[in-house]
Copies of this chain bind each other. A is one copy, B any other.
Amino acid sequence: MEQSTLADALKMSVQVALGAWDIQNSRLVKLIESLPEGRLSDEIAPGKNTGVYVLGHLVAVSDNMLPVLGLGERLFPHLDEVFLTNPEKSGLAKPPVSELMANLHAVNKRLAEGFATLSPANWLERHTAVSEADFAKEPHRNKLNLLLNRTGHIAYHLGQLVWLK
């Protein structure tokens, strides 16, 4: 292919990945907004996590993408203790759903702003969760890979949250 065609193709491949990220996030927001008031506090299935826990977990994981992708500091590091370090049954108080949803929108906005600063080539660079030495051996552990991984993670939990409908 010619150089311009190659550049366009690379750009498109990144756009498709960003589109997949957007779709999973849109589905998440749409699903949660479709649930009746209070429904998210229920266990998704008997003995399983509540919807609130899964939502907080997803916000914390997305928030963590900011430093890992080199896009800035965490916005809500306090979420980790309740939603990442500890399981549902920890007894730790959860923030209200309205606060978590505001957090989710803020994180996704900040991520979108950060994504817009990355060139297609930047997406194939190392993310901060892999060392320079490891990246030299495993160049697929790049930012694009992390994006796809996190996109799949949202889809995974969406498959659970949908049962609250």
Contacts and interface: CB of A to CB of B under 8 A. Distances in A.
Given A124-B13, A155-B156, A149 B1 contact: no
A7 B1 contact: yes
Contacts of A14: 13
A102 interface: no
A117 interface: no
Nearest to A12: B124
Contacts of A24: 152
A93 to B, nearest CB: 26
A159 B31 CA distance: 16
Given A6-B7, A46-B45, A163-B45, A16 B144 contact: yes
A163 to B, nearest CB: 6
Given A6-B7, A20-B149, A163-B45, A12 B140 contact: yes
For chain A, which range describes its interface: under 10, 10 to 19, 20 to 34, or 35 or more residues? 35 or more
B46 A142 contact: no
Contact of A19 (B5, B140, B160): B140
A163 B44 CA distance: 11
A110 interface: no
A130 interface: no
A43 to B, nearest CB: 10
Contact of A160 (B1, B16, B159): B159
A145 interface: yes
Given A46-B45, A142-B12, A153 B152 contact: no
From A1, A15, A124, A156, name the one whose CB has the most chain B CB atoms within 10 angstroms. A156
